[in-house]
Amino acid sequence: ASSPPRRCVITKICVRDLAKPRSFHVDEDKTTLVSDVSSILDDDSIDIVVEVMGGTSLARTVVLEALKRGKSVVTANKALIAEYLDEIHSAVEQSGNKDVKFGYEAAVAGGIPVISTLQHCYAGDIINEIGGIINGTTNYMLGKMAGGANYDEVLKEAQDLGFAETDPTADVEGHDVRAKIAILAKLAFGTTVDVDEIPCNGITQISSVDFEYAKLLNCTIKLIGTASRRSHYGERDGDLSVYVAPKMIPTNHILAAATGCGNAVTVDSVNLGTASYFGPGAGRFPTANSVVADICRVAAGNCPADPFPLRSTIEIDNDYTSAFY
C-alpha cells in the first residue's frame, strides 16, 4: 500500500556561485541557497536529495553519501548511473531503510516515462530487444542533414540553439546513448553492462552523401542504441548484445517518425510484440517534469523499493552479426 502523500518543500539548493544572478525566484522564508553540499547531507530534516549537477565524481559522492545517510535520491545523471550502477544499487539495498528510494526517470529519454514503464509494466513479460533514438541532439542534427545540410553547419546550429554543448563529444560520438542503453539493458534483461565494453559509433563520419544513398533505399539515418537477446538453441535464448551505431531506417518504420529533438524507444517482448514510446527527449521542461514526477512518487510512497527489479545471469557477447552500410 502507498504511504499518505507528504508535502514537498525545497529547503536548500546547492549552487557553485551564490553571487550569480538567477532567473528564478526563491522564497527565502522556505528555501536557502548554499554553496557547500555537506550542509544538505548533514541536515537530518532533509529526506530527499535531488542531484542534477552532472558528472561522475562529486555527483557520485553526493548520491552514495545521501543513500548511506538514509535519504532518498532523485537524479537525471545517466553517466553516473551507467558507470556505477551496481554500487548505487547496493547502496539502496544496504541503507536498511525501506523508505530510501532511488528515482532516475529523467536519466533516459527526457520526458518519456520509459523507466517507470520498464519497472512496472513488463513484470509478466519477457523482453527480447529494446532500443531506439535516445539522444535529442544527434536526432536533430541527422534530421537537418537529411535535408541537405552538412555536418559542421548543423553542429554549429545545434550549439547556437543550446542543443549541443561547446564540447559535443558525448553526443556526437555516441557516449550519451551508450550510457542510456546500458541502463535500459539492465532494466530489460537484469544484466549489468560495462559501458566501456559497449561498441559505440557516433555520427561524426556521416555526411550528406550518405543520406543521398539512404534516400535511394527509401531510408533515413538514425543513431540507435540497441540491447538485443541473441538466439542460440531456440529463439532469443542466447547472449545479450548491446551496441550503439547509426542505422539505415526505412522511411515507413516507426523510428523514422521521431523528428527534431524527439526520442523514441521500442520494446519487443513475448506478450506485447513491439511497443513504442515517443516524446520529447531533451530540454529543460521535459527533463524537469520527470524529476518532479520522481519526487512526487517518493513522497507518495509509490517509487519502487528496488530501482532495478530484474536480475539475471545472461552473458554479454558483443561479437554480433548485423547488416551494415
And the C-alpha cell for 178?
551508450
Q: For residue 49, how many other CB atoms are within 10 A of its CB?
A: 22
DSSP string, 166-179: SS-HHHHTSHHHHH
Strand partners of residue 225: 132, 244
Strand partners of residue 279: 263
From the list 144, 180, 186, 247, the catalytic residue is 180
CA distance 289 to 297: 12
Element (H, E) at 210: helix 208-216
Q: For residue 303, how many other CB atoms are within 10 A of its CB?
A: 24
Note if 180 is an active site residue.
Answer: yes
CA distance 111 to 289: 6
Contact 138, 244 (CB under 8 A): no
C-alpha 49: how far from chain center: 19
From the number of C-beta atoms within 10 Å of its C-beta (0-12, 13-18, 19+), residue 284 rates as: exposed
Contact 210, 203 (CB under 8 A): no
Residue 276, helix vs strand vs coil: strand
Strands (DSSP E) found in the chain: 12-14, 32-34, 48-51, 72-75, 102-103, 127-133, 219-229, 240-250, 262-269, 273-280
Q: Are strands 48-51 and 72-75 parallel, antiparallel or unpaired?
A: parallel
Catalytic residues: 180
